Amino acid sequence: MLLIRGGTVVKAEGSLRADVLVDGERIAAVGPRLTAPGARTLDATNRLVLPGAIDPHVHMALPAGEGLVSSDDFVSGSRAALAGGTTTLIDFATPAPGESLRSAVEARMAAAARSLCDWSLHPSVTSWRDDTAGDVAWCMERGLPSFKVYLAYQERGLGLRDRDLLRLMSAAAASGALVLAHCENGDAVSFLTQRLLAQGKRSARFHPLSRPPEVEAEAVERALILAEDRGCSLYVVHVSTAEAAETIRRARLSGRAAFAEACPHHLLLDDSCYEREDAADFVMSPPLRSPSHPPELWRALADGTLDAVSTDHCPFMRKDRRRSLDDFSRIPNGVAGVEHRLALLWTFGVLAGRIPESRFVQLVATGPARIFGLAPAKGAIEAGADADLVIWDPGREWEIRAATQKQRCDSTVYEGLRVKGRAETVLLRGRVVVEGGEIRGREESGRFVARRGPPRAAPAARPEGR
């Protein structure tokens, strides 16, 4: 038995002064002045107790073409996740050209088994073959009820044409699965990219011009229309623009099962980063936007239009980013974030007065648990749930630096940023895996978590800030 004593437990419904009693892998009780003779005690005085956070969008060891692979694997990336207070990751299983979905899932499950934190996968449907419908059913039976599609990257064999998207959405509607969509119009991106390159506009500073806001807005609108037509639930990943957020707001107000997330980089940075000498380090898709967009994303997080903050964690080493400086379209896309998500959202969300602490917990834990079928085991501090817990020091001030991060990457887009809030102690199913900010967990201490299908409707938007 283990007793976390004297802290403030933060739930999506509000906070309370309470102790948390852990028995084995589960939470046994939550309440004031609990006693447990002989139990190990962790003092949480002046600390918050948070549910272990869930990052539903990460890419560990992602093959990115031309022999490049994202630089965190499941071991290093899950260590970084735990250090930041995240205890469950959902990565992706993406078939190589010609590979079946089932084969991709089996291979990825073997790789993910090395994770230190708990994990699941979203199978990515990149084409519709004779065996895809059967493989979708096979995934559902194994507790993988969410499928990723890319509306961009057709030239890399990842992007799905609308005809095949409709096939997947029909199968998802019939089986109660969720479709996650990377919403950018791939043909528009390809057209704009070729034109920029032909005009000699080849450096990283032109990357955002190849994927302007309307490219995202069109794809979000289309994905919502097609999902409604097929009657399937949709989750829009990495919403980056005011226009896309507004489209999702309207869809939800009309009662559609539409869910969506934002990422810290789109909330905190803007396209002035592409003017910097190290612009290549900021290449991600969708790109960073002009300064008018982040305030609208914060508003959408506060009013319930957006359900989650994920990271789209996908780091690359500088040498890999910089080998294509004369062709922005060959710079590998993605940035690191899994380690810093909670501290960033705490500092610039809660402490800046943009969201209350209950909403913080909803966005990083309780919301993703519900949408991705991890609840009630994950995402909330309740008796019977997995004892995935974070003792959070809300006032601890520190600086994000590539030199000291646990993410395996030699840069961070947040270099030098001062943040507050740190995961002091982290428990994964009752075991202390981070102590005093240092990792105690071992490789393979994470477990695959079988998931259920998504809720049938999105919750209504809420008044600002509540």
Query: Which parts of this chain interact with Zn ion (CB under 5 A)?
Result: 312
Which lies closer to ligand URP via its Cβ, residue 124 or residue 347? Answer: 124
Please say whether the dihedral angle defined by the alpha carbons of residues 409, 410, 413 and 418, taken in this order, is positive or negative. Answer: positive
How far is 98 from 21, CA to CA, in rounded Å? 50
β-partners of residue 86 are 53
Per CB under 6 A, 296 contacts ligand URP:
no
Which lies closer to Zn ion via its Cβ, residue 158 or residue 302? Answer: 158
CB of residue 158 to ligand URP, shortest distance in Å: 8
How far is 115 from 100, CA to CA, in rounded Å? 24
Which lies closer to ligand URP via its Cβ, residue 50 or residue 215? Answer: 215
- Residue 451 interaction partner, one of Zn ion, ligand URP, none, beta carbon < 5-8 Å per kind: none
Size, binding site for ligand URP by CB under 6 A: 8
Which residues, 56 to 115, sit near ligand URP by CB under 6 A? 59
**Is 315:336 a contact under the CB 8 Å cutoff?**
yes
Per CB under 6 A, 284 contacts ligand URP:
yes
CB of residue 430 to ligand URP, shortest distance in Å: 33
Per CB under 6 A, 207 contacts ligand URP:
no
- Residue 285 interaction partner, one of Zn ion, ligand URP, none, beta carbon < 5-8 Å per kind: ligand URP
Which lies closer to Zn ion via its Cβ, residue 118 or residue 312? Answer: 312
How far is 197 from 202, CA to CA, in rounded Å? 5
CB of residue 44 to ligand URP, shortest distance in Å: 36
Among 102, 182, 289, 422, binds ligand URP (CB under 6 A): 182
Angstrom distances, CA of residue 214 to CA of 25, 74, 186, 217? 47, 34, 12, 5
Per CB under 6 A, 314 contacts ligand URP:
yes
- Residue 412 interaction partner, one of ligand URP, Zn ion, none, beta carbon < 5-8 Å per kind: none
Per CB under 6 A, 312 contacts ligand URP:
yes
Side chain identity at residue 90, one-letter code: I
SS3 139: helix
CB of residue 61 to ligand URP, shortest distance in Å: 12
Which lies closer to Zn ion via its Cβ, residue 19 or residue 184? Answer: 184
CB of residue 59 to ligand URP, shortest distance in Å: 5
**Is 231:174 a contact under the CB 8 Å cutoff?**
no
- Residue 284 interaction partner, one of Zn ion, ligand URP, none, beta carbon < 5-8 Å per kind: ligand URP
Angstrom distances, CA of residue 379 to CA of 10, 55, 88? 11, 11, 9
CB of residue 429 to ligand URP, shortest distance in Å: 29
- Residue 279 interaction partner, one of ligand URP, Zn ion, none, beta carbon < 5-8 Å per kind: none
Of 349, 350, 422, 449, the closest CA to residue 82 belongs to: 422
CB of residue 92 to Zn ion, shortest distance in Å: 7
Strand segments (E) across 212-303: 233-236, 258-262
Residue 31 has which token pair? 């309440």
CB of residue 284 to ligand URP, shortest distance in Å: 4
Which lies closer to ligand URP via its Cβ, residue 218 or residue 312? Answer: 312
SS3 235: strand
- Residue 333 interaction partner, one of Zn ion, ligand URP, none, beta carbon < 5-8 Å per kind: ligand URP
Measured from each CB, the residue nearest to Zn ion is 312
Per CB under 6 A, 334 contacts ligand URP:
yes
Which lies closer to ligand URP via its Cβ, residue 168 or residue 314? Answer: 314
Residue 61 has which token pair? 């060891």
**Is 375:24 a contact under the CB 8 Å cutoff?**
no
Residue reference for tokens 């032109």 = 206
Side chain identity at residue 64, one-letter code: A
Which lies closer to Zn ion via its Cβ, residue 334 or residue 394? Answer: 334
Side chain identity at residue 430, one-letter code: G
CB of residue 285 to ligand URP, shortest distance in Å: 4
What is the DSSP code string of 163-230? HHHHHHHHHHHHHT-EEEEE---HHHHHHHHHHHHHTT--SGGGGGGGS-HHHHHHHHHHHHHHHHHH
Which residues, 21 to 60, sit near ligand URP by CB under 6 A? 59
SS3 434: strand
How far is 155 from 117, CA to CA, in rounded Å? 34
Among 115, 240, 247, 333, binds ligand URP (CB under 6 A): 333
How far is 184 from 159, CA to CA, in rounded Å? 10
Element (H, E) at 297: helix 293-302
Residue 30 has which token pair? 């939550």
Per CB under 6 A, 285 contacts ligand URP:
yes
CB of residue 152 to ligand URP, shortest distance in Å: 8
Which lies closer to ligand URP via its Cβ, residue 27 or residue 308? Answer: 308
Site residues, ligand URP (CB under 6 A) = 59, 182, 284-285, 312, 314, 333-334
